[in-house]
Each structure stands twice: as C-alpha cells, then as structure tokens.
C-alpha cells in the first residue's frame, strides 16, 4: 500500500483520518504522516490499515501496468 492508495481508500469509503485511525487501532499522526509521504509504515501497521479497509468493503488492486489502486467490493 502506498500513500496515494490510502488516500483513495479513505475517499472511497468516506472515512476521515480520525475514523480510520480508530477503526484500525493506529495513531492519527501515523496516517497523516504516511499520506503526506513523510515516512513509511511498518508491516504491522500496514496489516492493520489494510485489514480495516478491506473489512469496510474495499479491495486493493495491485500494480498491473496501470499502477496500484482501490475499488469498492460488490456487496455479497
């Protein structure tokens, strides 16, 4: 996950930084710093963020020639 994907993910789910931080159990400052590209994330933090976003209905699209992205999952 890169900073652009995280910003797109929050926008798609209409989540604020504080909301995502609370859901994922991650510090608000960590998310803000990563989105502004002022630092990376450790693997545990990436796992928490991705897990929370995927549980909320988001799907991460890997780089496949067009760059990484996100999309909302179809309801089951």
pLDDT at 68: 83
CATH number reported for the structural domain that contains residue 59 in this entry? 1.10.260.40
Per the domain annotation, does 76 fall within a domain?
no
Count of structural domains within the chain: 1
Residue 7: inside a domain: yes
Q: Is residue 32 included in any domain, yes or no?
A: yes
pLDDT digits (tens, 9 = 90+) for 36-60: 999 889 999 999 999 999 999 999 9
Question: What average pLDDT is seen over the chain?
Answer: 92
Whether 75 is covered by a domain: the verdict is no
The DSSP code sequence of 23-59 is HHT--HHHHHHHHTTS----HHHHHHHHHHHHHTTEE
Task: Establish if 13 belongs to a structural domain.
Answer: yes
C-alpha 21/C-alpha 27 separation (Å) is: 6
In a domain, 26, yes or no: yes
Q: What's the confidence (pLDDT) of residue 76? A: 63
Within a domain: residue 11?
yes
Domain around 51: 3-70
The larger pLDDT score, comparing residue 64 to residue 18, is at 18
pTM: 0.88
Least confident of 18-27, 38-47, 63-72: 63-72
């Amino acid at each position: 996950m890169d900073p652009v994907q995280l910003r797109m993910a929050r926008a798609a789910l209409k989540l604020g930084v504080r909301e995502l931080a609370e859901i994922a159990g991650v510090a608000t400052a960590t998310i803000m710093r990563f989105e502004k590209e002022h630092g990376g994330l450790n693997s545990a933090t990436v796992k928490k963020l991705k897990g929370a976003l995927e549980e909320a209905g988001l799907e991460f699209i890997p780089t496949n020639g067009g760059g990484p992205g996100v999309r909302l999952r179809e309801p089951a």
